[in-house]
A and B are shown apart, each in its own frame.
Chain A
Amino acid sequence: MKSFANVNARDAKDAVAKLGQPNAVAVGGGSDLLGMVKEHLVEPDVLVHLKSIRKLDQVSAKAGEVQIGGLITLDTLSREPAIRSRYTVLAEAAESVGTPQIRNAGTLAGNVCQRPWCWYYRNGFPCFKAGGKQCFSITGENQFHAIFGGGPSFIVHPSDTAPALVALDAKFRVTNSDGERTIPAAEFFALPRVDAARENVLAQDEILTAVDLPAARPHTRSTYHKVLDREAWTHAVVSAAIVLEMDQQVCKSARIVLGGVAPIPWRLPKVEAMLAGKPITPELAAQAAEAALEGANPLAKNAYKVPLTKAVVRRTLLSLATKA
């Protein structure tokens, strides 16, 4: 790998200042970045280490709201009792990432911000994600690529926690040289037609420092269902993050966000509206699954994702709604 300097950030503001240096890159757990540096996909001059920032790895509750530091490891997050009980979808998503080793090192902010795992990008093809002007998957091997929101790049967003955070209506706290700005989770992610080189709206000298979760409403239940190509250590082929607010058997409100199908966490507002105020029956779940895939635009080798996603939406919805 290329030579680079390591610097430790004192606090979030210092990290941002240090990221202002030419060709500086932020590193949290480093579980993915180190591999990318070795593969020369990233060639930084400076690595700005965020792990030296204190207290950014904690969960704190204030007036029902919960704030999660961006540096919390996925393992710790998945075991946090407050998250497990009231924001189950996030705990389950964190728990589904990679391997125990990756979850012990990888952070929430790093998982949300990780670069795509499209094999063209990861093998050094000069694609949009590498600053090029082409997406090689369109006519190539696109088994794992997007069926929604594609073009000009057809990557799928690789994060498991991102769909969960969008489903929970989280707010992202971003630190920059002016201080801090707060962005709703759904607006944090950017489609390739907005910026094909990136997956979110973070500027080069901005970092995701924390995530705020709104107070969990009573009678809310949530889950994350991930389809993997083996029992562990793959990104989602397809996943569904679902949050349901129930009144007895009736669904008061629903939020459904898919992973593995689009370049961003793919929210289904139309399906959510279909469910509001109704008891979730097998028939309704099936209708919701059909509606969920309206507008899907598969490539040559990923049409299987359409029936797969339908099954995932229908089953996950039904099992969550009827859970004792």
Chain B
Amino acid sequence: MNTLKTVGHPTSRIDAEKRVTGTATYTGDLRLPGMLYARVLRSPHPHARIRRIDLSRAQALPGVKAILTHENCDVIWGSGDMRNKRYLFNDPVRFVGDAVAAVAATDRHTAEEATRLIAVDYEVLPFVLEPEDALKPGAPEIQPGGNLSPTARGAHEPEQYRRGNIDEGLRAADRVFEDQYSSPHINNAQLEPRVAIAQWDGDRLTVHTPTQGISNCHTEIARDLKLAPEKVRIICQFMGGGFGNKNQDHDFELMAAVLAQQAGAPVKIEFTRKEDFLAVHGRWPTKQYYKVGVRNDGTLTAIQLRGYSGMGPYRKGTGGIAGIEIYQCPHVERLVYPTYTNKAVSANLRGPDFPQGVFGIESLMDDVAYALKMDPVEFRLKNMTRKLNDQIPYTSIGLEDCIRRGAEAFEWRKRWHAPGEGSGPVKRGAGMAMGSFSSSMGRSSAVIDLDARGTYHLHVGVTDIGTGAKTTMALIAAEELGVPLEKIDVIWGDTDRCPFSVGESGSRTTTQTGWAVVEAAKDLKRQMAEKGLPQGNQLLTATVNANPAPLTGQARYSFVAHFAEVEVDTETGHVRVTKYVAAHDSGRIVNPLTAESQVKGGATMGIGMALHEELLYDRASGQPLNAGYYGARILTHLDTPEVDVLWIQTEDPYGPFGAKTLGEPTIIPSPASVGNAIHNAIGKRVNDLPITREKILGVLA
């Protein structure tokens, strides 16, 4: 791969100093003159009809300026449910945390007091927590039409994928392996809780909000409030992460806007950490049943998955269970049942469909390899995907190198052994897992103004949820323009000043908005050649709405393999990750510094998912028990291992300088590699995430 001048060199974030010195202004730091504060009253019941709401005592509290309930607010939150009408305030309420009312008052304390003065008469309804229970006859109906969430076409049937003939594939097998796995609801647990400020200027609405995508947030707020898009402005200058739960528009932004309109004053709405855990969304819990057919030489003949995803009561995410696509196999069948339950809502969390599905299939494939007396690394090299779904060639694929070079860097042959081998109470074990993630090209925009002083003003609609997008865009512009990075002035995070951007979801910003930046820079260079440099007050402007043609007959993917070594104390059940190697094919790496941080963050999140995190519910009452950082046992710095990052930089003909996606692949194989390492250490497998001390001591008992 050729070396470039700016792209590919470790570079500090352009806003790093502001962030680390505390001078960056986050939404929570903003205070507007006359601003009111809003708080939300939430359902204490997992499922209940609202007979009556009495606001009289709350309205009488001095300082209360506006109150919204389902009786006076019929705004539909379009992004809150892709199948049903989900209002800002719903009746019946369908989970503990479902919004019942929102109050705006002159200060936080008054707003909170007012929510407690609202008297709600509930008719408590039966509830159901687990998807398989929710699909049984006689289960409480959570949405009209039944608890199996319909497909996009409205059919009440599972999401299906098939190739070949599964029965034929199972018949062709020398051996058939069968097992089941589960993963719980866990929260995105980003650092910054939800806060938004809405301000009206006549009929024009400005919303300050920490969003992953100002453009989709803008379109959707306009849609949900029935406003012309030009009447809405979204601003997000600095934000504190989201991992998928700050994309699109959100109910709290809409509540702030309606409250501000009614009260005639700007409104800041804030959620507590507990509300953030219960009332926004987390990763969907799954139950996965697999059958795998294999020949004695290790060739796969069939993979069958029947899976259930608990969506909570609203269909905010796909509920998909991915992972089997990383194997080449002639006969495949996947049925997934996205199901309504009365638990917290589930939707996107970093690699939405993947880490839980990869945990399932990669645990089983490990067992298959062991049963056939094959090294798990060799087994994966033999069976890894070579074409998407065995049909469509990839534009570039570095998976084999991820596995081979990752294994080498990890010293796999030294660390891996027969499962459970080794004496003494503390046992070491090695495990690996692999994954892939779509890196398709698509629509995004960029504008570059060149002024007479030689500064390039790059307008991009990114916000930087932690990926370093502002810096990445500047690096790409500097590279294409052939100018030093300091000459690029990035303008971001404001729909009045920035063009459309795809949004920092699906790990698409570098590939899509980055591509638009390349195109804009090329256009500007053409203009400079034609018209010369701008003089005086002139600006030279390049505007690009890039819309690359979809690839036909080719698929563009990123690939990854992770290797973990753990130490398991068989007497205390304590697990420590002692070595971790992450090998990534994300094409050319634009900024190795922030890219490495992405990998370390993703791998660490995956370790937490493997070992600790689970939103627990009391079965009798349907109440969540451990919402929040303390209860979720999110990893601390002391728990975080060194993560060695290995770049497999394949040459890809598409994307900005051949860059492919990175952010989400970083978590995909992490829980599975830790699970496989624990199995290798103790010789027993825990099939249900998280792999807690209780479960480890349980299988060893």
- Which A positions have Cβ atoms within 8 angstroms of B? 1-3, 38, 40, 119-120, 123, 125, 136, 139-141, 143, 227, 229-234, 237, 301-304, 307-308, 310-312, 315
Proximity string of chain B (673-701) to chain A, C-beta cutoff 8 Å, 1 when within and 0 when not:
00000000000000000001110011001
Distance between B204 CB and nearest chain A CB, rounded to angstroms: 36
Q: Cα distance A54–B616 when bound, in Å?
A: 44
Identify which of A123, A230, A303, A304 contacts B625 (C-beta below 8 A): A123
Q: Cα distance A314–B701 when bound, in Å?
A: 18
Query: Which A residues touch B572, using CB under 8 A?
Result: 227, 308, 311-312
Query: Which B residues touch A315, using CB under 8 A?
Result: 571
Q: Which of the segments B68-76, B218-226, B286-294, B630-638 contacts the partner chain? A: B630-638
Distance between A80 CB and nearest chain B CB, rounded to angstroms: 24
Query: Which A residues touch B272, using CB under 8 A?
Result: 38
Do A301 and B694 contact each other (CB < 8 Å), given the known contacts A141-B625, A227-B574, A308-B572?
yes
Q: Are A233 and B636 in contact (CB under 8 A)?
A: yes
Identify which of A123, A231, A237, A302 contacts B638 (C-beta below 8 A): A231
A to B CB contacts below 8 Å, 15 in the list: A1-B109, A3-B113, A119-B625, A119-B626, A140-B620, A141-B625, A229-B693, A237-B693, A301-B694, A304-B694, A304-B701, A307-B571, A307-B701, A308-B571, A310-B571
Q: Are B618 and A141 in contact (CB under 8 A)?
A: yes
Is B639 positioned at the interface, with any CB of A under 8 Å from its CB?
yes
Q: Are A3 and B574 in contact (CB under 8 A)?
A: no
Q: Are B698 and A136 in contact (CB under 8 A)?
A: no
Q: Are B698 and A229 in contact (CB under 8 A)?
A: no
Q: Cα distance A123–B621 when bound, in Å?
A: 12
Proximity string of chain B (600-633) to chain A, C-beta cutoff 8 Å, 1 when within and 0 when not:
0000000000001000101111011110001101
Q: Cα distance A143–B690 when bound, in Å?
A: 14
Is B112 positioned at the interface, with any CB of A under 8 Å from its CB?
yes
Q: Which residue of A lies closest to B627 (CB)?
A: A123
Do A308 and B701 contact each other (CB < 8 Å), given the known contacts A141-B625, A230-B635, A234-B630?
no
Q: Which residue of A lies closest to B108 (CB)?
A: A1
Is B573 positioned at the interface, with any CB of A under 8 Å from its CB?
yes
17 more A-B residue pairs beyond the given contacts A120-B618, A302-B694, with a C-beta to C-beta distance below 8 A: A3-B109, A40-B116, A123-B624, A123-B625, A125-B621, A139-B620, A141-B616, A230-B636, A230-B639, A232-B639, A237-B693, A304-B573, A304-B693, A307-B701, A308-B573, A312-B572, A315-B571
Q: Cα distance A305–B249 when bound, in Å?
A: 45
Q: Cα distance A3–B697 when bound, in Å?
A: 47
Identify which of A120, A141, A304, A312 contacts B698 (C-beta below 8 A): A304
Distance between B568 CB and nearest chain A CB, rounded to angstroms: 13
Q: Which residue of B lies closest to A234 (CB)?
A: B633
Distance between A251 CB and nearest chain B CB, rounded to angstroms: 23
Query: Which B residues touch A312, using CB under 8 A?
Result: 572
Query: Which A residues touch B636, using CB under 8 A?
Result: 230-233
Identify which of A125, A232, A304, A308 contacts B623 (C-beta below 8 A): A125
Do A232 and B638 contact each other (CB < 8 Å), given the known contacts A1-B109, A1-B112, A120-B625?
yes
Query: Which A residues touch B109, using CB under 8 A?
Result: 1, 3
Identify which of A40, A140, A232, A308 contacts B697 (C-beta below 8 A): A308
- Which B positions have Cβ atoms within 8 angstroms of A? 109, 112-113, 116, 272, 425, 571-574, 612, 616, 618-621, 623-626, 630-631, 633, 635-636, 638-639, 692-694, 697-698, 701
Q: Cα distance A303–B574 when bound, in Å?
A: 16
Distance between B671 CB and nearest chain A CB, rounded to angstroms: 16
Q: Are A230 and B612 in contact (CB under 8 A)?
A: yes
Do A304 and B633 contact each other (CB < 8 Å), given the known contacts A1-B112, A119-B625, A140-B618?
no
Query: Which A residues touch B633, using CB under 8 A?
Result: 229-230, 234
Query: Which B residues touch A237, using CB under 8 A?
Result: 693
Query: Which A residues touch B693, using CB under 8 A?
Result: 229, 237, 304, 308
Q: Which residue of B lies closest to A136 (CB)?
A: B618
8 closest pairs, A vs B, by CB?
Answer: A231-B638, A311-B571, A304-B697, A119-B625, A304-B694, A231-B639, A232-B636, A140-B618
Q: Cα distance A148–B77 when bound, in Å?
A: 50
Query: Which B residues touch A230, using CB under 8 A?
Result: 612, 633, 635-636, 638-639
Q: Which residue of A lies closest to B631 (CB)?
A: A119
Do A229 and B626 contact each other (CB < 8 Å), given the known contacts A237-B693, A307-B701?
no
Q: Cα distance A99–B692 when bound, in Å?
A: 22
Distance between A255 CB and nearest chain B CB, rounded to angstroms: 23
Q: Cα distance A227–B624 when bound, in Å?
A: 25
Distance between A70 CB and nearest chain B CB, rounded to angstroms: 25
Q: Cα distance A312–B272 when bound, in Å?
A: 37
Q: Cα distance A227–B425 when bound, in Å?
A: 16
Distance between B107 CB and nearest chain A CB, rounded to angstroms: 12
Distance between B1 CB and nearest chain A CB, rounded to angstroms: 39
Q: Cα distance A307–B425 when bound, in Å?
A: 13
Q: Which residue of B lies closest to A315 (CB)?
A: B571
Distance between B425 CB and nearest chain A CB, rounded to angstroms: 8
Q: Cα distance A310–B697 when bound, in Å?
A: 13
Query: Which A residues touch B616, using CB under 8 A?
Result: 119, 141
Query: Which A residues touch B630, using CB under 8 A?
Result: 233-234
Q: Cα distance A233–B116 when bound, in Å?
A: 31
Q: Which residue of A lies closest to B574 (CB)?
A: A227
Query: Which B residues touch A302, using CB under 8 A?
Result: 694
Query: Which B residues touch A232, using CB under 8 A?
Result: 636, 638-639
Q: Cα distance A218–B166 when bound, in Å?
A: 75
Do A307 and B697 contact each other (CB < 8 Å), given the known contacts A1-B109, A119-B625, A119-B626?
yes
Q: Cα distance A241–B268 when bound, in Å?
A: 49
Q: Cα distance A143–B693 when bound, in Å?
A: 10
Query: Which B residues touch A307, using CB under 8 A?
Result: 571, 697, 701
Q: Are B618 and A143 in contact (CB under 8 A)?
A: no
Q: Cα distance A311–B621 when bound, in Å?
A: 35
Query: Which A residues touch B571, using CB under 8 A?
Result: 307-308, 310-311, 315
Distance between B124 CB and nearest chain A CB, rounded to angstroms: 16
Highest count of chain B CB atoms <10 Å: which of A40, A125, A303, A308: A308
Q: Cα distance A308–B616 when bound, in Å?
A: 22
Distance between A108 CB and nearest chain B CB, rounded to angstroms: 21
Q: Which residue of B lies closest to A117 (CB)?
A: B630
Query: Which B residues touch A123, using CB under 8 A?
Result: 623-625
Q: Which residue of B lies closest to A308 (CB)?
A: B572
Distance between A95 CB and nearest chain B CB, rounded to angstroms: 13
Q: Cα distance A193–B50 when bound, in Å?
A: 40
Q: Which residue of B lies closest to A227 (CB)?
A: B572
Query: Which A residues touch B623, using CB under 8 A?
Result: 123, 125
Distance between A5 CB and nearest chain B CB, rounded to angstroms: 14
Distance between A231 CB and nearest chain B CB, rounded to angstroms: 4
Query: Which B residues touch A229, using CB under 8 A?
Result: 612, 633, 692-693
Distance between A135 CB and nearest chain B CB, rounded to angstroms: 12
Q: Cα distance A196–B593 when bound, in Å?
A: 55
Query: Which B residues touch A2, using CB under 8 A?
Result: 113
Q: Cα distance A308–B639 when bound, in Å?
A: 20
Distance between B41 CB and nearest chain A CB, rounded to angstroms: 13
Distance between B127 CB and nearest chain A CB, rounded to angstroms: 15
Query: Which B residues touch A139, using CB under 8 A?
Result: 620
Q: Cα distance A112–B697 when bound, in Å?
A: 30
Q: Cα distance A136–B625 when bound, in Å?
A: 11
Q: Which residue of B lies closest to A99 (CB)?
A: B636
Query: Which B residues touch A231, using CB under 8 A?
Result: 636, 638-639
Query: Which A residues touch B694, using CB under 8 A?
Result: 143, 301-302, 304
Query: Which A residues touch B639, using CB under 8 A?
Result: 230-232
Highest count of chain B CB atoms <10 Å: which of A119, A125, A312: A119
Query: Which A residues touch B692, using CB under 8 A?
Result: 143, 229
Highest count of chain B CB atoms <10 Å: which of A141, A304, A315: A304
Q: Which residue of B lies closest to A231 (CB)?
A: B638
Q: Which residue of A lies closest to B272 (CB)?
A: A38
Query: Which B residues touch A311, using CB under 8 A?
Result: 425, 571-572
Distance between B698 CB and nearest chain A CB, rounded to angstroms: 6
Distance between B39 CB and nearest chain A CB, rounded to angstroms: 11
Query: Which B residues touch A125, using CB under 8 A?
Result: 621, 623
Query: Which B residues touch A234, using CB under 8 A?
Result: 630, 633
